Structure 1
């Protein structure tokens, strides 16, 4: 695809967007994130039941929602997200403005912010953070995968990096240089992984001293002693009891959190989380079983249903199973899955069959793509034509977790396995806990097929299909083994560089059609509206379509 957008036209559009952003005011100044009332500024504690344990507490190396759920309360970025939406708003930066060709962005910073350790937040701290994220060792480049996805490369491959440098041009003014225009910048700075952290704490805790260890990583001292700027500070992680305690930051630059303590209790089993809520030992939890929503509300709880901004998919790895390199085999597996039945029996009301690897609310969604047909007879014919009758598929699902796109992984897996076995595929089941090997095993290519999903970090087509297929070296689908893998990655990058919204959307629509009709690197399954539930006396929770709730607005009464 060609880039026909002129610099002059691009600059006009992006400057208009920047002007709007520059006129915005941070909601934290107005205190609009909270509901006030009972518990406001009180000594109350809000206890939330988490589905899994955090991997560690340095958001730069985090990749999963359970870790981000905790770090989000302690860290902030230059840009933030309006609670309850996907809209970009000021956070630690109050304005951001590009130069004429969009390669230099000037950020005007708040002048009243300090890190939790008392160190000042300023332009030097911003540039220290960017350079710290950019300059990673081999293990850090693997673990810091969000940087790799959005920036393309690290310091050892600087020519291929979107990020090119940062300069403090004033005490509260920083200029970030990028290699060229992209629709993702500066929106990507809302990512939790790119949050601002205390330079002093990073240095003293040897933050970049990450090392490969077995199939995972060993993290430095800093990862257990995080220091940000947010409304909560790190208290204690009692790993034996599965509790993480955060404390209100009384020196916070915005409106103080309305509870004095925020506690996360790790309770992997969803039914146990419900029992704990009913017993009053926790005040809320994420992803209640959809069949329990009505009963929970009848018991006096509040079920908050988010808009669906996710995708559940079955990923393939052609590196481990060469039969998956045959398009006919992938097409057969696509036809073997009864998505409509799965959505109706396994997912909550409002869930939909996926036609592509992004939800319909994202620009670039191709409305011409129909839901994949369920045709087990044709699936068997294709397997026979490919010489893959009776093929064996090592197929994995995660345990000890519920995710927005898969409230019950085992039941979803069983439904998919039943469909596959019905067309003659032999399934070799593999399981591992979410943060106990499953994610690492998927990344390492240990499974032929697996179920996984994605909740969008921000409203961008590249954040979905670009994340999946845009980095040929680092993607879970093994597209580097496919002859079309590089072409797809190149097409995605070219489309992302188109700033005109209509032109960019059309390019992504075309790519979505190619992915589903010509490539089929995996099987998109469904979109599901996830929920969270809070008990009586809890107010101020603002459900996020990004599942990115901030709990500083929460009040708890009746203790």
Structure 2
């Protein structure tokens, strides 16, 4: 028998086995992998976006909700019952620590939501210190009457009242479907905390290892129900400094750099070895004003802070004018955006007058919280905080800057420990309620995501009324009225609507930037 040359033998091997790993430079470490406990986009990117799936997903091109783990669903005429029909033969991931004995069933969906919504569920009682922030802020405990199994492939959600946002909410990362069988295994072994470090989902990639502040390694899921990923290995190289992320792409240490600085984007556009992928972001950068802390409980003080900040200089310095000036909670291409609201201008004298009227002629002391590293919503935290500090000093407000590591900042801010907080929000599906309920509802004060800590019955009712009908014209009226309250009460300092961007090597194909900050590597490869 003739022996074939090595080159020929290698050529006969499956192409995927020789595929180059896809390395992505990310901005920070996730809080964990049990996504329901957290609300940061970094955590969603590392867990929900690659390891898990939801019942439905949001198609960004079509701008509508589409099937995922559920291949169809029915809604009753009164809008109170949603019946989801599960895709057949969806397999959970097989790992060293879990060998599933059955495919996805309605039991897994019931467990996933019972854990978040039912106080008697043992997994509800042993939730982490964060609880279930998204489920709480979105008011699902009050909204969902029951989640029941009809049969193995059918699950029914009964609501206490009609809600136009219910199905879109199920596209969010916190609605990822978990394995009830795996949860039972952990519970019986007394290893509940391992759910946060050893996740099991139905998604395209399986977590292999995680080194905090360094690397996350994933393998392609051979049991994935959808199109097989084009790479067999995915690596997140955690790189907090945005400039270093851009340098790593140039040095071929990374194939994709997330959340680059605007200046690095401009430089990459002139480099033939690189590509820039961009999209208008469904995001808003802002400074939250904690209305539970004096004197920020006074609307005149909050209005004065808005008037004192030179946002034109801020957008030029921090975003290199790549972000639109912000006025309302969500971007102007969103339906119901109220164009009649006049933004706060830059007016030092008027700001001083408002402080005098509020009883603070000599100003006051406060703190500005920010993170140490940049993101798409704040490319340069240090410059941002210093600009605000300098402007507030002009009206007698002495602000100390506190730079806090991202995970600790989120934890402390959710407990309301901050005064002024540089923050940002990314919506998940283009609906205005993606901003209004989590950032301004009373439920969101309890869950900690409402960083303004403002609970107002009138505002809360407008937000709730807007969710209760499918009539978009009626919803728009409620949301326009809500925007006016948010603006007049000056609950935050709106900063900008950024452009979402990533820098890739020229040989990377299939990667798209999501306006919502989500990550999808299913069809991406570095050739």
Instruction: Compute the TM-score of the two structures, normalised by the length of structure 1.
Output: 0.85
Partner of 1:101: 78
Change in CA separation of 1:141 and 1:267 when aligned onto 2, cut-off 3 Å = closer
| Structure 1 residue corresponding to 2:343, chosen from 343, 359, 371 | 371
Deviation at 1:98, TM superposition (A): 0.9
- Which consecutive unaligned segments of at least 5 residues does structure 1 have? 1-37, 154-160, 211-218
Asked if structure 2 preserves the Cα contact closer than 8 Å seen for 1:140 and 1:208, the reply is no
Indicate conservation of the 8 Å contact 2:23/2:254, yes or no: yes
Structure 1 78/309 Cα, relative in aligned 2: closer, same or farther at 3 Å?
Answer: same
- Partner Cα separation in structure 2 for residue 238 and residue 351 of structure 1: 34
Tell me if 1:446 matches 2:423: no
| Aligned equivalent of 1:460 | 431
Checking the alignment, whether the CA contact within 8 Å between 1:85 and 1:545 is kept in structure 2 is no
- Secondary structure in 2 matching 1:463: helix
Structure 2 distance, partners of 1:181, 1:207, is 38
Alignment CA distance shift 1:532-1:185 (3 Å): same
Query: For residues 43-62 of structure 1, what are the structure 2 equivalents within 5 Å?
Result: 43-62=19-38
Deviations 1:184-226 (A, max 9, x none): 111111011111111122222349999xxxxxxxx81111110
Residue 486 of structure 1 deviates from its aligned partner by: 2.8
Cα distance between partner residues in 1 of 2:253 and 2:292: 47
3-state SS of the aligned residue for 1:272? Answer: helix
Q: Aligned to 1:220, what secondary structure does the other structure show?
A: helix
Whole-Å Cα distance in 1 between the matches of residues 486 and 495 of structure 2?
14
1:182 deviates by 1.1
Bigger Cα displacement from structure 2, 406-415 vs 258-267: 406-415
Q: Sort the Cα spacing of 1:535 and 1:479 in 2 relative to 1 into closer, same or farther, 3 A.
A: closer
Select 1:302's aligned residue among 242, 256, 275: 275
Residue aligning to 2:200: 227
Given that 2:16 and 2:232 are in contact with CA atoms closer than 8 Å, whether structure 1 keeps it comes out as no
* Counterpart-to-counterpart distance in 1, 2:490 and 2:66: 36
Q: Distance in 2 between matches of 1:370 and 1:47?
A: 44
Is residue 376–residue 423 contact of structure 1 (8 Å, CA) maintained in 2?
Answer: yes
Q: Which of 181, 184, 188 in structure 2 is aligned with 1:203?
A: 184
> Which is worse superposed, 71-80 or 415-424?
415-424
- Which residue of the partner structure matches residue 149 of structure 1? 137
1:311-338 Cα distance to aligned partner (Å, 9 max, x none): 1111111323x21111211111111111
What is the distance in 2 between the residues matched to 1:514 and 1:308?
A: 24
Q: Is the 8 A contact 2:217 2:235 kept in 1?
A: yes
1:358 partnered with 2:335: no
Work out whether 1:237 is the aligned partner of 2:237: no
Which of these residues, 491, 494, 511, is aligned with residue 524 of structure 1?
494
Tell me what 1:74 maps to. Answer: 51
Q: How many Å separate the matches in 2 of 1:139 and 1:123?
A: 22
Q: 1:490 and 1:209 mapped to 2: Cα distance? A: 43
TM-score, normalisation: structure 2: 0.90
Q: Is the 8 A contact 1:359 1:365 kept in 2?
A: yes
| Residue 97 (structure 2) aligns with | none
Provide closer, same or farther for how the CA distance between residues 41 and 506 of structure 1 changes in structure 2, counting only shifts above 3 A. Answer: farther
* Deviation readout 1:366-396 (Å, 9 max, x if unpaired): 0111221110111011111212122111111
Q: In structure 2, what is the equivalent of residue 34 of structure 1?
A: none
- Match of 2:481? 510
Q: Aligned match of 1:192 in 160, 167, 173?
A: 173
Q: Deviations over 1:204-257 (max 9, x none)?
A: 2349999xxxxxxxx811111100001111111123x71111101112112100
Say if 1:553 and 1:349 are closer, same or farther in 2 by CA, change over 3 A.
Answer: farther
User: How far apart are the structure 2 equivalents of 1:311 and 1:39?
Assistant: 42
- Pick aligned residue for 1:120 from 87, 103, 107: 103
1:344 to 298, 316, 336: 316
Q: Give the number of aligned pairs.
A: 498
Q: Is the 8 A contact 1:93 1:110 kept in 2?
A: yes
2:146 aligned residue: 165
SS state of the match for residue 306, structure 1? strand
Pairing partner for 1:499 from 470, 478, 496: 470
- Separation (CA, whole Å) in 2 of partners of 1:54 and 1:443: 17
Cα pair 2:117 2:140 within 8 Å, conserved: no
Alpha-carbon distance between aligned partners in 2 of 1:301 and 1:479, rounded to the nearest angstrom: 40
Q: Distance in 1 between matches of 2:242 and 2:127?
A: 34
Cα distance, 1:242–1:87 mapped onto 2, change above 3 Å: same
Does the 8 Å CA contact 2:389/2:400 hold for their aligned counterparts? no
Give the aligned partner of residue 6 of structure 2.
Answer: none
Mapped partners of 2:188, 2:313: distance in 1: 48
Whole-angstrom distance in 1 between the partners of 2:208 and 2:380: 31
Residue pairs, 1:400-419, within 5 angstroms = 400=373, 402-419=374-391
Q: Deviations over 1:419-441 (max 9, x none)?
A: 11122110122110111x11111
SS at match of 1:362: coil
Q: Which moved more, 1:519-528 or 1:76-85?
A: 76-85
**Structure-1 separation of matches of 2:284 and 2:190:** 34
Q: Distance in 2 between matches of 1:501 and 1:308?
A: 22
**What is the alpha-carbon distance in structure 1 between the residues aligned to residue 517 and residue 17 of structure 2?**
25
Map of 1:87 onto structure 2: 64
Query: Match of 2:115?
Result: 132
Q: 1:253 to 1:474 in 2, by over 3 A?
A: closer
Residue 243 (structure 2) pairs with residue 271 (structure 1): yes
